[in-house]
Amino acid sequence: MSNRLAATPNDLRAFWMPFTANRQFKQNPRMFVGAKDMHYTTAEGRKVLDGTAGLWCVNAGHCRPLITEAIQKQAAEMDYAPAFQMGHPKAFELANRLVDISPDGMDHVMFTNSGSESVDTALKTAIAYHRVRGEGQRFRLIGRERGYHGVNFGGISVGGIVANRKMFGTLLTGVDHMPHTHLPGKNAFTRGEPEHGMELADELERIVTLHDASTIAAVIVEPVAGSTGVLIPPKGYLQRLREICDKHGILLIFDEVITGYGRMGTNFAADYFGVTPDIITTAKGLTNGVIPMGAVFVKNEIHDAFMQGPEHMIEFFHGYTYSGNPIASAAAIATLDTYKEEGLFERVAEIAPYWEDALHSLKDAPHVIDIRNIGLIGAIELQPIAGNPTKRAFSAFVRAYEKGVLIRTTGDIIALSPPLIVEKDQIDEIIDTIRTVLGEVE
């Protein structure tokens, strides 16, 4: 069968697609059949520039040779080893490589298969940690409005995006939410961290007063909220959250599924902001998106608290069939090698000012009401069409795709996160295309 035939399946009905307008898509499908470095190839043979690193995950660009080779080699050498009560060297090698780049004092890591699983792992670890220390009454979890922590029950319970929650019943009990930090009236068109809003961290004190600190296990936030449309923490906000958590013995979890592995020009957002949480959740960029894998970093005190009781006993009743899967581990090691050899995280720090200027050059483009940026992340917020929210941004997405640039939209916000190998002329192409489509859409 020719590649052309394989690329155009004649029946699209069986696959119920994730987070997709299925009926619209199947009438007018958008299919990618190839990818290399900064570009996809469509089924029609067109090149599309990747302005989003897939879904914020292909940080090193597409089909990178070290990663491809590592996967091929591992698949031929050993495909799978049981994850429970058995080991294989690559998972340990990867864990060591990861704790080499994690913040000081976070020298242990658990493996998962996705960001959603990393979040559930982190929440369960936090509650169980308090229990093994004799504080089992600390069971509450505090999230934040507009937070995205994946789609499993734990993640949607602490998450704050209503569409992801409202269909699914009671969710986890014992959850409360801090307010989000989006202050468009005060912070519009800020470059980097906004000036206003640090005081919103003090809302955590109010929640602590309501429930009593002794009932709260953990607070979970994205250091930079991604999925909701890129909300950048106000100056001093994360530091203040850290102080309040410390004061009350509450664990602080940073969900770094998007911000981890170089997107901010540092290993983790924790490094960028100089705030060390107790647990970090990651996925996506860990394997460059190539093979599903997540990793959860914990502070040494948390790990050590579980290492008690008879030595033949399992210390933590949690884990996945594919935790530390050999092929995923090999892909992750090769991904870390690629990041390091090419100095990609440092590259972000160098190119971020150009990225910032390019994004903010859209300030006067039609419909634009706010622009936000940090690291190699950007957001352009559009004025919604009255009575027809999300339509304007979705039209911009489809038109940009037709013009050869892949962007992401959430609500009426365009979110951008190109691979870390993006060149200046490619940044220009992304921005010029957006300027053009904003001039065309209703």
**Which of 88, 235 has the CB closer to ligand PLP?**
88
**Which of 257, 371 has the CB closer to ligand PXG?**
257
**Which of 272, 320 has the CB closer to ligand PLP?**
320
297 counts as binding ligand PLP under rule CB under 6 A: no
Please name which of 39, 281, 35 lies closest in space to residue 155, comparing C-alpha atoms.
Answer: 281
Sheet harboring 175-178: ordered strands across? 108-112, 294-298, 279-282, 251-255, 216-221, 140-144, 175-178
Name the maximum alpha-carbon separation found in the chain.
68
φ, ψ of residue 23 to 5 degrees: the values are -70, -40
Q: Collapsing DSSP states into helix, strand and coil, what is residue 348?
A: helix
Question: Which token pair is 108?
Answer: 């242990």
Q: CB of 206 within 8 A of CB of 135?
A: no
In the 8-state DSSP scheme, what is residue 201? G
Shortest Cβ 225–ligand PXG spacing (Å): 8
252 binds, among ligand PXG, ligand PLP, none (CB under 5 to 8 A by kind): none
Contacting residue, 254, 261, 322, 345, with ligand PLP by CB under 6 A: 322
**Which of 208, 253 has the CB closer to ligand PXG?**
253
Contacting residue, 320, 345, 355, 397, with ligand PLP by CB under 6 A: 320
111 counts as binding ligand PLP under rule CB under 6 A: no
**Which of 227, 426 has the CB closer to ligand PXG?**
227
Shortest Cβ 102–ligand PLP spacing (Å): 24
Opening angle at CA 307, ends 304 and 310, nearest 5: 165
Q: CB of 226 within 8 A of CB of 259?
A: yes
Q: What residue type is assigned to position 168 of the chain? A: F
Shortest Cβ 435–ligand PXG spacing (Å): 22
Shortest Cβ 159–ligand PLP spacing (Å): 20
321 counts as binding ligand PLP under rule CB under 6 A: yes
**Which of 208, 378 has the CB closer to ligand PXG?**
378
In sequence order, what E strands does 88-183 have?
Answer: 108-112, 140-144, 175-178
Number of chain positions touching ligand PLP (CB under 6 A): 3
Contacts with ligand PLP by CB under 6 A lie at 320-322
